[in-house]
């Protein structure tokens, strides 16, 4: 059966196109180092890869939330520690000045230190992280504690998602840290700044009984502050454990993604050389096939 020139051209062209396509696929895999570059390369593998990439994106967002949460909590811890140190210093002064060993001039000098201490505690209570006030609840743009010690925040609890279906509170609801509850007020307790003010006033007027009263109240304030620090530590530890788990899960998912879509460099290089050789051979064979012979011309 005689083969027409059109058929020969079509056959040669088809072989060249196939060789070119195979060579292009290998060249793309070699340049991208990816076995899967489009859905047609491996539909099932592409679906699995997309699922892994979505998981990794979720992990990255959770990790960002955790990093913000840690920073927020660490700044809160530093502020609480500063407040605790001020209260402890105030307690030391009240203990040493609540007897007749020192005179009025010493108490007046201590009152000046307590006044500075009040300013420091108010400043620490109004600490910020990323332009957000730490202790104000949802009112993150308003200083939560006034110079007089009044609490101007709210009781909002701020939660951030740190894992699939897991949300953690990252702030302290601090109203009771700075203000007494109704029951505490009935028991004769005061707010934190008010307690320091009582000590300051007693020192100024050389009132030993007032100093002793403030000393007892400072113990109460220190107990509350310590309790808040313990709560904060528990929150931080829980978030830190989740952080470690997320880092591990992300690493494992990334490895799985690489297994699915990454190319074997050695194999791809070898296959590319093969397809290149096949392409060159096909081009040479097609060139000979399409050259008209003298006999073909005479026919």
Q: What is the mean pLDDT of residues 20-42?
A: 61
**CATH of range 78-232; options 3.40.30.10, 1.20.1330.10, 1.10.238.10, 3.40.190.10:** 1.20.1330.10
pLDDT in tens, 138-195: 999 999 999 999 999 999 999 999 999 899 999 999 999 999 999 999 999 999 999 9
Residue 294's CB is within 10 A of a number of other CB atoms, namely: 7
**pLDDT computed for residue 44 by the predictor:** 85
At 19 the pLDDT is: 55
Structure tokens at 274: 């093969």
Q: CB-based burial of residue 4 (10 Å sphere; 0-12 exposed, 13-18 middle, 19+ buried)?
A: exposed
In DSSP terms, 262 is beta-bridged to: 34
How confident is the model over 229-288, as pLDDT tens digits? 999 999 999 999 999 999 999 999 988 887 777 655 556 565 556 666 655 666 566 665
On the question of pLDDT at 298 being above 50, the answer is no
Bigger pLDDT: 290 or 220?
A: 220
For the chain, the structural domain boundaries read: 78-232
Residue scoring higher pLDDT (251 or 10): 251
The DSSP bridge partners found for residue 128 are: 133
Helix, strand, coil proportions of the chain in percent (round to 5)?
70, 5, 20
* DSSP conformation class of 173: -
pTM of the model: 0.76
Average pLDDT, the chain: 84
Residue 296: enclosing H or E segment and its boundaries? helix 294-298
Residue positions counted in the chain: 299
Please enumerate in sequence order all residues whose Cβ is within 8 A of that of 73, keeping only pairs 6 or more positions apart, or say none.
170, 232, 235, 236, 239
């Amino acid at each position: 059966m005689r083969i027409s020139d059109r058929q020969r051209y079509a056959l040669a062209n088809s072989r060249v196109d196939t060789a070119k396509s195979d060579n292009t696929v290998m060249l793309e895999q070699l340049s991208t180092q990816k076995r899967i570059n489009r859905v047609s390369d491996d539909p099932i593998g592409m679906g699995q890869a997309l699922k892994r990439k979505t998981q990794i994106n979720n992990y990255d967002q959770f990790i960002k939330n955790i990093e913000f949460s840690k920073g927020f909590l660490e700044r809160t811890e530093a502020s609480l520690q500063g407040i605790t140190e001020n209260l402890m210093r105030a307690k030391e002064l009240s203990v040493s000045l609540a007897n007749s060993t020192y005179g009025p001039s010493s108490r007046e000098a201590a009152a000046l230190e307590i006044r500075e201490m009040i300013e420091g505690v108010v400043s620490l209570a109004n600490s910020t992280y990323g332009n957000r006030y730490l202790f104000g609840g949802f009112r993150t743009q308003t200083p939560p504690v006034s110079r007089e010690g009044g609490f101007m925040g709210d009781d909002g609890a701020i939660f951030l998602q740190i894992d699939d279906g897991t949300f953690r509170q990252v702030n302290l609801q601090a109203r009771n840290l700075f203000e007494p509850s109704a029951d505490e007020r009935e028991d004769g307790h005061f707010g934190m700044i008010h307690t320091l003010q009582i000590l300051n006033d007693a020192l100024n007027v050389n009132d030993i009984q007032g100093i002793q009263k403030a000393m007892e109240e400072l113990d109460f304030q220190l107990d509350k502050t310590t309790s808040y620090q313990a709560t904060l530590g528990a929150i931080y530890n829980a978030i830190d454990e989740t952080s470690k788990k997320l880092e591990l899960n992300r690493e494992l998912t990334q490895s799985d993604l690489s297994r699915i879509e990454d190319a074997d460099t050695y194999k791809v290089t070898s296959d590319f050389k093969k397809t290149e050789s096949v392409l060159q051979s096909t081009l040479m064979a097609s060139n000979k096939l399409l050259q008209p012979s003298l006999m073909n011309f005479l026919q």
